Amino acid sequence: MLKNNIKLILIFSFFSILLVFSYIIIENILFSNQAKKVALANAVNKTKERANVFNSFISKSKDMLHSIQELDSFEAYKNNQNVPINNLFLTFVKIDSTIMKLKYIDKNGFEQIRVDRKNENTEPYLIKKEHLQNKSERYYFKNSKLKQANKVWFSQLDLNIDNGQTEIPYKPTMRAIMPLEKDGEFNGILVINLFMENFLKKFTNAPLYDFILTNDKGEILLHYNENKNWGKYTKGAYTLQDEFPDEMQNILNNSVYQTEQFVSRKINKHLVVILQLNKKYEQLQQQETYKKYFIVALLTILFSMLLSIITVKILQNKISLIKDKVNLSLDRASHIAHLGFWKYYTIKDKITWNKGVYEILELDDSTQEASFKKFLTFVDKKDIQKIKEEYKNSIKEAGKYFIKYKIRTAKGNIKYIEERAIHTFDKKGNHIKTEGSLYDVTKLTLLQKEQLEQQKMLLIQSKLASMGEMIANISHQWRQPLSVISTGATGMKIQKEYDMLTDDFFYNTCESINENAQFLSQTIEDFTKYIKGDAKPIRFDLKNDTDSFIKLVDSTIKKHHITIILNLKEHVKIKGYPTELIQCFINIFNNAKDALIENIPEEDERYIFISQEVIDSKVLITFKDNAGGIPEDTLPKIFEPYFTTKHQSQGTGLGLYMSYNLIVKSMQGEVKAQNITYHFNNKSYKGALFTILIPIEQS
C-alpha cells in the first residue's frame, strides 16, 4: 500500500508540474500577446485618427486658396496687374503661421506675387520683383495644366527646394495648388507651401509605437530611426522595401493593412502611415510576464504538493469502493450483453474470468478456478484444434485474435461463440499478456441460419414462378427441330418405299436429324442446369452464361417481337453461381418484357440492349429497354421482397429481390436501377437501365 501511495503522490506531483507548464504554455500562446493584440487593435484607430488630423491640417490651405480665388480684387489683378494686391497676400500669410509661402504664378510659369516666411515663428515678407523665379519646369506647375481648374490639389510631402537646391537644414513642406482659368484656358496657379516640420513632430508622436511615414513609391519620408528619414535624399537610400521586404506591396495597395506586427493606412493617395509596437515596450512587457510566470508556477507547485498528499489519503478509501462498483457494473454489462471477459498472464501462466464467462458456460459455481484446459472441455471437439492454432498464429504474427466456434455448456446447451483478443508484448517482442472477450452469438447465428433457409425457399419460389414460362419456351423451341426430324424421317421412308432413296439424301437427312436432336439435347441440358442450380461458386465464362440465358428466353423474344441488341465481351471469366446469374438475367428481362408489352404497341420497335464491359477488376453488365421507364415513386422499392406493381396472379414480387441478394451477397457485386433517355438509330427513347457490377474475382 505504501508503494502505491508513493506512486500516487509522484503521479500527482508530476501532473501538477505538467499543469503548471501547461498553464505557462497556454498563457504564452493565448494571452502573452494579448497586450500586443490590444495595442495593434488600437493602432488601427490611431492610424485613422492620424489620417483625420493630417487631412484637417492641410484642408485649411484649401479653404484659403478658394477665398483668394473668389476675391474681386484678385480677379481684377489677373486682368490688370497694376491693381495693388501684394499686401492682401501678405495679410493672408500673417493669419496662418504654418504657411511658408503663398504665391501666384502666371500661365507661363513666372512668379508674379510671392510671400515668404523663414520659420513658423517669424513674420512673412514680400519677395521683390527682381528675385521672383521661373517655376515653369517644376512638376507641380506642369501637373497643374492637367488638373481641373479652380479645384485644389496637393503635392507630395517633400523637402523645400529654392533656386533648384534642397534647403539645408531640411524643411519638409507640402503644397496646396489651385489651377486657374480664363475663358476656359489655363491661366496660372495659386500655391501655398506649408511648414510641415512642427506638425510632423506632433503627428508622429506615438509613445507605444514606432512611426513610419512613406509615400506611394515606397520611399521612406519619416522613420522612428531619424537616420533613415528622407531616404531618397541620402546615399544608399533606405526604402519601404528594406523595412518590409515581404509586405511592401500589401502596404501600398491596401487602404488599411494589418499584420501581427504592424498596421498601415493610406492618408491620401500619396502618403501611407505605419504604426508598429515599440520594441523596448515589448521587451519590458516580456520581462513582466516572466516574473508573473515564476510566481504563479512556484505557488501552484507548492499548493499542488500539499493538495496531493491530502488527496492521496482520501483516494485510498475511494479507490477500493470504485473498484468494487466497476467490477459489479462490468458483471451487469456482461450479463445484459451476453459478454464474458478474460485475461491471460504469460509469466504467471494464469487466466482469469469475469462473471460473464461463467454465465456463458452455465457454471453455477463461479468460485471454480479458471483454466484454459477446463475451458476446452466445453468446446466442440471439431473446433478445439482450430482454436489452438488460431491463438498461436495470432501471437506469432502479433495480430488480433478472432474466431467463431461451438460449445456445449455445463447444462448441455449448444451455444455459438465469437471470441476476440488482443496481445501485449514487451519492448523485446516477448508476449506478456492477452485480454479477450467471449460473445454469445447463439441467437444471431440461429437467426442467420433461418434467414439463409428462407432465402433458399425464396429462390425456389422464384424459380417455380418462372418455370411455367420456361417450359413454354422449351416447347416452342422444340417445335421446329421436331418438325425437321419428323419430316426427314417420313421423307426417307416414302423414298425407300418407292425405291427413290439416294445415298446423298439419306446422309444429308441423317445429318439434319442429328443436328436437331443435339439442339434438343442441349436445350434439355440448359434447362436441367437452370433447375438444378449451383452448389458452390465456380469460374465461368460470362458470354457463354449470357448465351444460355438468351436461348432460354428465345421463344419469348420472338413471340412478343422484341429486338435484342447485344454487346458482349469475349473471354470474361468470373467466379460465382452461373445458373443463379441466369435467373437474375431472366428476372430483369421479364420486367423489361412486361413493361414493353404494356407500354409499346406490337407494331412499334421493342428494344432490350444487353452490354458487358470490363472496368478495372470488375465487369459491368447493363440491361436497357425503351418501355418508358419505371414510375419514380416505385423506383426505390423495386428490390424489396414481395413488392410488385402487377396483379397477384402475374407476379410474386420476389424476382428482383432475389436478384439483388444473389448479386450483392453471394457475388459481392452491386445492382441498381434508374430511368434514362438515350438515342438509337437517330431516335430518342426513354426506358429503365439496370446496372450490375461484379468483381472478376471475388474474395
Same domain, 436 and 473: no
Same domain, 262 and 394: no
- Rg of the chain over Cα atoms, rounded to whole angstroms, equals 51
For residue 647, what pLDDT is reported? Answer: 44
Domain extent at residue 108: 39-277
Q: Pick from 261, 294, 327: which residue ends a domain?
A: 327
Same domain, 243 and 343: no
Same domain, 312 and 416: no
For residue 614, what pLDDT is reported? Answer: 92
Q: Which pLDDT tens digit goes with each residue over 521-562?
A: 766 665 565 555 555 788 899 999 999 889 888 888 988 999
Task: Give kind and range of the element (H or E) at residue 625.
Answer: strand 618-625
402 occurs within a structural domain = yes
- Between residues 78 and 32, which one has the greater pLDDT? 78
Q: Which pLDDT tens digit goes with each residue over 363-404?
A: 876 666 777 788 888 888 888 888 888 888 988 888 888 888
Average pLDDT over residues 410-433: 88
Is a pLDDT exceeding 80 seen at residue 481?
A: no
Is a pLDDT exceeding 60 seen at residue 115?
A: yes
Which of 565, 579, 571, 577 minimizes the C-alpha distance to 527? 579
> What residue type is 245 in one-letter code?
P
For residue 649, what pLDDT is reported? Answer: 41
22 occurs within a structural domain = yes
For residue 699, what pLDDT is reported? Answer: 42
659 occurs within a structural domain = yes
Q: Pick from 255, 277, 299: which residue ends a domain?
A: 277
For residue 323, what pLDDT is reported? Answer: 64
For residue 552, what pLDDT is reported? Answer: 81
Q: Is the Cβ–Cβ distance between 117 and 93 less than 8 Å?
A: yes
> What residue type is 546 in one-letter code?
T
333 occurs within a structural domain = no
Same domain, 364 and 435: yes
User: How many domains does the structure of the chain reveal?
Assistant: 4
Is a pLDDT exceeding 80 seen at residue 273?
A: yes
For residue 461, what pLDDT is reported? Answer: 62
For residue 186, what pLDDT is reported? Answer: 93
For residue 690, what pLDDT is reported? Answer: 95
Is a pLDDT exceeding 50 seen at residue 648?
A: no
Cross-strand bridge partners of residue 475: none
Taking the C-alpha atoms of residue 602 and residue 154, their distance in angstroms, rounded to an integer, is 90
Average pLDDT over residues 266-278: 88
For residue 626, what pLDDT is reported? Answer: 95
For residue 475, what pLDDT is reported? Answer: 63
Q: Pick from 302, 327, 352: which residue ends a domain?
A: 327
The mean predicted confidence, pLDDT, of the chain is 82
Cross-strand bridge partners of residue 211: 275
128 occurs within a structural domain = yes
Question: Which CATH number is 350's domain given?
Answer: 3.30.450.20
For residue 82, what pLDDT is reported? Answer: 77
Average pLDDT over residues 493-497: 85
Question: Which CATH number is 579's domain given?
Answer: 3.30.565.10
Average pLDDT over residues 654-659: 76
Same domain, 265 and 366: no
For residue 448, what pLDDT is reported? Answer: 77
Same domain, 601 and 686: yes
Is a pLDDT exceeding 90 seen at residue 605?
A: yes
Poorest-confidence range of 30-39, 184-193, 351-360, 481-490?
30-39
Expressed in angstroms, the distance from the first to the final Cα of the chain is 55
- Between residues 665 and 242, which one has the greater pLDDT? 242
Same domain, 241 and 315: no
> What residue type is 543 in one-letter code?
K
For residue 537, what pLDDT is reported? Answer: 83
- Between residues 32 and 57, which one has the greater pLDDT? 57
Poorest-confidence range of 27-31, 78-82, 362-366, 502-506?
27-31
495 occurs within a structural domain = yes
Same domain, 622 and 481: yes
Site of grid cell 494589418 = 258
Average pLDDT over residues 420-427: 90
Same domain, 312 and 377: no
- Band of the pLDDT at 28, cuts 50, 70, 90? low
Is a pLDDT exceeding 80 seen at residue 99?
A: yes
Is a pLDDT exceeding 90 seen at residue 415?
A: no
Taking the C-alpha atoms of residue 90 and residue 115, their distance in angstroms, rounded to an integer, is 6
681 occurs within a structural domain = yes
**Entry pTM:** 0.40
Poorest-confidence range of 34-38, 139-143, 186-190, 677-681?
34-38
E strand intervals along 310-454: 339-345, 350-353, 401-408, 414-425, 431-440
- Band of the pLDDT at 8, cuts 50, 70, 90? low
- Between residues 648 and 384, which one has the greater pLDDT? 384
Is a pLDDT exceeding 70 seen at residue 13?
A: no
332 occurs within a structural domain = no
Poorest-confidence range of 260-269, 367-376, 465-474, 502-511?
465-474
Same domain, 119 and 242: yes
- Per DSSP bridges, beta strands 573-576 and 562-567 are unpaired
Is a pLDDT exceeding 80 seen at residue 307?
A: no
For residue 484, what pLDDT is reported? Answer: 66
Same domain, 98 and 180: yes
